[in-house]
Structure 1
Amino acid sequence: MTLKIRNETASDVAAIEAVTIAAFHDAEHTSHTEHFIVNALRHAGQLTLSLVADDDGAVVGHVAISPIRLSIGPADWFGLGPLSVLPQRQRQGIGVQLMNLNRPGFCRQSRASYFLSNRSPYEQSTLPRRIQDRGGQTNP
């Protein structure tokens, strides 16, 4: 297994959709529209960052970051999600690798703030309940 986290390419689109559908298939907290959301954001040119976990040429995970608009506060906020990993590859640290690679670098590069969207029970139990803020600083 040679896992590599990289930016998505045009040839990854179908695999990203399949991974996203599979990852949320049995989830109770979803309406199973995550793949539609990712595709709509991509077609609208609103995927600020789209990373895949590539295992020897096979996409086994994906995370998306896109701009969001808040009713108050600064305009430079981004939503993180969905975060998808194939069911048979979950709980192997792939999601953590996708998160760890995008959060600090994205915040430092863009000077933006973001939050997690569609937090699953897994995310709620494993990720700190904090917001990653400007420049990689963490606020409670």
Structure 2
Amino acid sequence: MKAQTIRSRRGTQPRLTLPPWQLLARSPVFAAVGAYVGMCLTARAWSDCPLGNDAAGETYLVIGTTPLVWFAMTAALLLCQLSLWGATLPLPGLRCLQWVLPVAVAVLLTVLYRAGMHSPVVQPDGTCMEGYPHFPFEPKQNPGPHG
């Protein structure tokens, strides 16, 4: 008798459900767009510096930094979406948060990425500080005035 009661209790426990793959597929897409836009904005900001966008720096930005930023953005967006998955939103209008919040987080992460890559300091005589950082919020590589 006791064994049947335990089995029946175990059978009624709710199972852990994962969100559908369509919901989880948004994170890498939003992160890819954010990382690409942040990379383009960084390259454009540094194009004013005559020596700031040399081929080696541009290659490292595209091949080295952007995939790492994409991975970090994807992880943050997945956490954001998984935190919303279990929430029961009472009003249908609030269900749009499952789209709006990840987009807002992606925009915020893109802005942080762009801010972390700094901007060149262009002097009135045309000299500037060259070499954006290899990863956001690191010191600039090869700092110094160049013309």
With structure 2 as the length reference, what TM-score do the two structures score? 0.29
More helix by share: 2
Q: Which has the higher strand share?
A: 1
TM-score (norm 1): 0.30
Over alpha carbons, which structure has the higher Rg? 2
Between 1 and 2, higher relative CO (CA 8 Å, sep ≥ 6) is seen in 2
